[in-house]
Every structure is written in structure tokens, then in C-alpha cells.
Amino acid sequence: MEPGSARGKVESPATERTSGWFQRLPLWARIVIPVVVLVIAAAVLVAVLQPRASADPVDAAESACRAAVQTELDSHDVDTRELSVFEVTTTEPDVYLVRGETAFSDSAGADSGDGEERRVRFRCTVRVEAGELQPPSVRFSEPIAAD
């Protein structure tokens, strides 16, 4: 037997290709089905990754103001006892005015037990620019100083 004669075309059942269900579909269906699947997958992906609606701006302004008041009190080395917000109003579009009261005592006095508690009112202005809350400005009814 010659070495080249073994290379004849012999088809066996293992080499026969059976057509799948997708290939039996009409051409238009073979194009439309993958496109529809991709569009649905893209819509689901966008829905999942889309940022949620922002928080209520009044709540966000109040929260930002509370944080700013607390930071200001901490910078004067006093212990905050209470921080309450009375009202949040809108003075102009995208400007929120937060009013409240805070009670605090001197840190040194709090350790010895003879720290006098003081109450002051505060006013905080929060602006929204380009959809972002700007750092609030805080004003107190009297100076905050460790006595």
C-alpha cells in the first residue's frame, strides 16, 4: 500500500455535522434574536447601573448643616450635648437656610464635672451648585469659645 493511498475521502458518522436548531431558523430570525437579546441585556445593565434618585434636598441640607455645626464645635474643643434643628427653609432656588439650637459645655469642665452647659442658636446656609451641595456656612448667635 502506498503512503498516499491512505488519505482517501472516507466519511464516518463522527465527522458528519448535524445542523443545530439555530441553523434551522430562517435568516431573519438568526439576525433578530441576537439583536433583541443584546438590547434587553443592555437595558437591564443600564437600569442596574443608573444612579438612584438623589436624596431629598431638604434632608441633605439638614444633614450637611448638622455636620458643619458639629465640626465647628469640635474645632473649639467643646463637648456637644444636644443639636436640634428647628426649620429648613428655601430662601432662593437652590439655597437652603437651616436654623436650630445646640447645647455644649467646655471639654475641661466636662471632665471635672463643673462644666457649665451653654445653649446657642445657629443659622446655616447651604447652596446647591451644579447639582452638588457646597460646604455650608455656619453662624452662631454668640461666640463659641472654651471658657
Quick one: pLDDT band at residue 31, thresholds 50, 70, 90?
very high
How large is the average pLDDT for residues 1-7? 55
Question: What is the CB neighbour count within 10 angstroms for residue 112?
Answer: 8
d(CA 145, CA 106): 8
pLDDT, residue 54, reads: 57
Q: What is the pLDDT of residues 80-98, one digit of tens each?
A: 888 888 888 888 888 999 9
Size of the chain in residues: 147
Q: In whole angstroms, what separates CA 77 from the centre of its chain? A: 31
SS (H, E, C) 78-142: EEEEEEEEEEEEEEECCEEEEEEEEEEEEHHHHHHCCCCCEEEEEEEEEEEECCEECCCEEEECC
The whole-angstrom distance between residue 143's C-alpha and the CA centroid of its chain comes to 35
